[in-house]
Structure 1
Amino acid sequence: MALLAGCEQELPRSSPPPQARPVALQPQAPHPPSDKSQALARYYRKVQNDLLTRGLLRTDGGGPDTPFTADDLVRDFINIAFFDEYTRGPLSGGGHGAGALSRWEVPVRVNVEYGANVQYGQRTRDANNITAYVNRLARVSGHSVSMASSPAAANFHVFVAGEDDSVFMQTRIKQLIPTISTPELDLFADLPRGFYCLVIAVAAQNNPNTYVNAVALIRTEHPELVRQACIHEELAQGLGLPNDSPEARPSIFNDDDEFALLTRHDELLLKMLYDPRLKPGMTPDQARPIARIIARELMGQAL
């Protein structure tokens, strides 16, 4: 699971009339997966089974065995919101150090597109899961997040696609993000097996700490639970929580795979991220005392 971030020019206030899609970019009709895709699906089924056997990929959101305090929330928020698991990406020229607070200021509108080997029944399940999760993200963050009324109205593009969709993915993403770098585009065409899924968040050129566009890839070869885990992590990361931390618990923002789905702890991180007292561009030192107040309020502790 990964997030990269970049910059592009700010989206126009009103979109020009959409052009007719080329034939190659019409919605993909399902067809059987290739041998390579089927082999990858077998590999990910084994990964999921191994994790479940070890008691990982929990879906209970935590409990008495995973207590956390307001101070834990502040620590985890700083580690997850201000640092990046990989880099801030070639488009923004960032590095591995602490960055500034980044989030969406415009409404987030989500659209889903499918690769050719995603069967209609799976498309329906994925659409239902993503819609329900988008509604949850809106509820817990307090930000305007919803499904787009049409693909042209979307600024957060979710692709459920796989090994057989390289040409479709590269062509479509180049349309959506013309400023995407070649290395980032190549990731979507040949994502390493160790990357379960991926999201690229794109900031406005004149305001590098506010996102205006995002593209996420959910591998179609994943079995159901890992597929849901990817949806939960990539969409939440794309809202502005790009890092993982070994100290965060109970959390999906931890590489230990203990939790598959967004937890109560993670909901509180999203509430903190979109609290109006915090502003895009803040440094960790500027945000920490405010985050401490917010965390204590959320945990019902005295200030």
Structure 2
Amino acid sequence: MRIRNLPALLLSLLMPALVAAGPVRAANDSFSTEEILKGFEKTVFGLEYRSWSWRPYLVKKFTQPVTFYVHSLSRRDRTRVVHRFVREIDRRIGGLKTRITNDPAAANFEVFVVDRAQYVPVVQRDIYKNDRAKVPGRCLVRVVSGRNGIKRSAAVIVSDEGEFLFNRCLVEEILQGLGPMNDNRDLTHSVFNDASRHSRFTIFDQIILNMLYDPRIQPGMSMKQTKPILPLVARDARRRVR
């Protein structure tokens, strides 16, 4: 589930499921080119809640290294798991560089790991900046984006409601914080589908993210602008994903 409430702020809220660290093992030729192209269009363009979003049908991506900081607030320390997934992203997505910092002021992607009792107050205080804001969803990511790309993202992930929820939250919210903001029930191979049971960084989603971070795909491009080059981008992304 997603909520957008400021012109240049993109807020996405995840519903029940959320994904696990580490890629799903599946052949990268398990999907047709048509499925991959549709998957890219359905995740990169559009948002679940469109009315308040800033230009939802344009490409959103980081154009600089993504520096992560983990706020470990839950009783169980999940920092090493989050760091492992960040390093996995760095290895799996061409055109994207990730870093981990010990200084929250140096981060442009903050990850808050909380227990359920902390979820609402942390979202209100650190994400919405409004202690009266309603907080739906079970986990969320907030993306601040402009015409030159994503400026910063922040994800809130619940730790104490089972491994499946934690892992799915971890993977989907962090990946969505990198740009593919939409969910679609037709994406059976993807974590970008609230009805799916995926809890890992699937091969399908690795291809989508590699397409998004291909240098030929630029922030602010429309679906129409990407269409002529997207088949070549998909071909090259499929080759990169093993």
Q: How does 1:1-303 map to 2 (within 5 A)?
A: 1-2=1-2, 4=4, 7=8, 61=24, 63=26, 67-87=30-50, 89=52, 92=54, 94=55, 99-115=57-73, 118-119=74-75, 122-123=76-77, 126-142=78-94, 143-165=96-118, 166-173=120-127, 182=130, 186-187=133-134, 191-192=135-136, 195-203=137-145, 207-208=146-147, 210-299=149-238
- Corresponding residue SS for 1:113: strand
In structure 2, distance between residues paired with 1:75 and 1:159: 32
- Corresponding residue SS for 2:133: helix
Unaligned runs of 5+ in 2: 10-15
Q: Is 1:105–1:211's contact at 8 Å kept on the other side of the alignment?
A: yes
Q: Cα 1:299–1:163, aligned 2, differ >3 Å: closer, same or farther?
A: closer
Unaligned runs of 5+ in 1: 9-46, 49-56, 175-179
- Corresponding residue SS for 1:294: helix
Q: CA deviation at 1:171?
A: 3.3
In structure 2, distance between residues paired with 1:215 and 1:269: 21
Aligned residues: 227
Partner of 1:37: none
Of all paired residues, the percent bearing the same amino acid is: 27
Q: Which amino acid aligns with 2:39?
A: D
TM-score (norm 2): 0.81
Q: CA deviation at 1:138?
A: 1.6
From the CA coordinates, give the structure whose radius of gyration is larger: 1
- CA-atom RMSD, angstroms? 3.0
Partner of 2:13: none
Q: Which amino acid aligns with 2:133?
A: D
